[in-house]
Structure 1
Amino acid sequence: MVSMQFGVGILGYGFMGRTHSYAFKIQPFVYNLNITELVAVYGRNEDNVRNFAKTMGFKTYYVDWKKLIDDERVDIVSNCLPPAPHLETSIYTLKKGKHLICEKPLARNLEEAKEIAKEAKNAKAKSMIMFNLRFLPSITKVKEFIEEDVIGDILHFRMIFDHESHVRPGRLFSWKDDIKISGGGALLDLGVHLADLIRYLIGEVKEVFGVTHRYIHKRPLKYDPSKMGEVTIEDLGKVLLRCEGEVLGFMESSKVSAGQKNYLNIEIFGTKGAIRWNLMNLDELYVYRIQEDHWERYLVSTLKWPPRGHSMAWLQGHVIGINHFLNCLIHNEDPVPSIEDGVKAQAIIEAAYLSSKSEKWISVSQLLEI
């Protein structure tokens, strides 16, 4: 029986704020772990955040994010805001001694990400970046297969993360279209997931060559569709990567791929075989062994609830990730992926942006040393 109790504050009540709220609330059902209480949620629109707080069972709400972090009942802060406020809100959280879970990307750019990491390194509180895909049982199994030498030495890989959101007619302008708020487009929003998975499964990236493009230049404004807002982010990014151990790779992030709602496909090729996995069927993966000359299908699940065969699907990444963080608090261990992992993933994306501008290969390690 764990006697610890932690009050949770969530910055933001959008898609990610709702997801983190769910992941905390469902811990007793999945893990019989009832050590958190939803204390407060922050949002700028008072009517909306009030309704969200009531619906989700928060004790209170704030329209001033500092007041949420300063609330003595809050021990854990989930930062689910857009990237622009991450620097100030994350550093303030850590300076106040509150534990931090920060949604990806860590910041708008590498410079801001390094500042957050510097504070996290010196802080007494625990911190983690939420790369939820790392926690999917199937991805964990892919890593196990690689470490057990099932496919031998890795030679090359392909990772693709495609959406169709930017080609849908009538889509309104949002903060994600403004580089001053988002920090980047398809490469940063989607590609940073791939950057982390490459580091997690393949190894460190040495250098990249990237190409980005913007197809959609204006969108109708949300509150006045008769007026247009200027889109300042890329819709598409393609990147070649040279990794440690002479491994070559390719990653693509797109928001202009018609028909792809949330298509993430991974293919890893080694000297003894290959592995492939797709987010659209995330509880299964396929392994090819050269000696046996056939693909084998694996169904993977590690959750205690719901029982095997009853998938929680995409949400389980956050549920498992939050559980990992809570267990690190209980056992005084360092959560992974760390804030530094967030910096290293951000460096890969920043290198790709710099490469696209210069039309040259860019060293990732040199960016991290600056």
Structure 2
Amino acid sequence: MSGPNTEYDPVEVTPLKAEEVERMREEALAAIAAATSLEALKQARLDHAGDRSPLALANREIGALPPQARKEAGQRVGQARGAVNQALAVRQAVLEEEQEARILVEEAVDVTLPWDRRPLGARHPITMLSERIADVFVAMGWEVAEGPVVEAEWLNFDALNLGPDHPARTMQDTFWADPPENALVLRTHTSPVQARTMLTRTPPIYVVCPGRVFRTDEYDATHSPVFHQVEGLVVDRGITMAHLKGSLDHFAESMFGEGITTRFRPSYFPFTEPSAEVDLVCFVCRGTGRASAGEPCRTCKGEGWIEWGGCGVVNPRVLVSCGVDPEEFTGFAFGMGIDRTLMFRHGVEDMRDLFEGDVRFTTAFGTEI
């Protein structure tokens, strides 16, 4: 058996020749320097530093050499691979820095632009005013009562002393629900809520009833088939018109400012007796009837008062219909238009602005009115 081949010259192995290792090293360095992106550098790493790269394959040849020949070949290949790995690390750092700089330019945020591209909505001023009105009466110890908008004919009319021949029951004023035999209507006022309250509760009763109502009115600058009312009801022992006047004066002052009071003008409503129209002192001219230039006030047309709503002492027939003893209890009721109140407070001249959903109208009121 022959001994080991001590005369083996590794230079004769082509991948391990000095000039071949140098060529592979230079080729790798050139490819790394030519990489202009991190993706290109990744490919250069696979081609020149991966497991199947020329230098990796040359490194495998070293194991087949005799011991005395491995050292020199190992140093030569190791130095070449080290230079390639160092070049990769340097180029990686350079390309990452260039990418970050490019992102800062390409994805820069202009902080002068609006930060919120989706405009926020706004609560409708009628909703906010309804809640503010409710807060005024809750602060007085009253409660807020609600009821359905599709109401029974008896509650909407009969219980409130509106007889079968009353003109408000006709199709000219009322939306009737089909089929007619169900005797259902879209409520024409929020008074049915008062009737429901008296039927289900025992006096004393102090409630305010804001809500949406329906009548067959034309849709124009001053009328709408859908509008909003707030009604108040008090049923207790010893209630008089003086309590009604004090409550409405406080309500008017809360809505239109200090010093605004009300006056009563005799009127007629089926559900109250005696009844009155409610006027309030003009909040523009403060009751003088004159503008600052001495001309008649345009808001009150020189009268010094503005019509606001209706009120009166609850008719005993209504108390009886709702199961309340008129010999023991008396009460008062009032009703005002929330839409009209809003138009007074903010100078809205066209009622259609309240209902047409233009966000430019609602956002002008902000979050509080």
TM-score w.r.t. the length of structure 1 is: 0.24
Larger strand percent: 1
Larger relative contact order (Cα-Cα within 8 Å, sequence gap ≥ 6): 1
Instruction: Kindly name which structure, 1 or 2, has the bigger radius of gyration based on alpha carbons.
Output: 2
TM-score w.r.t. the length of structure 2 is: 0.24
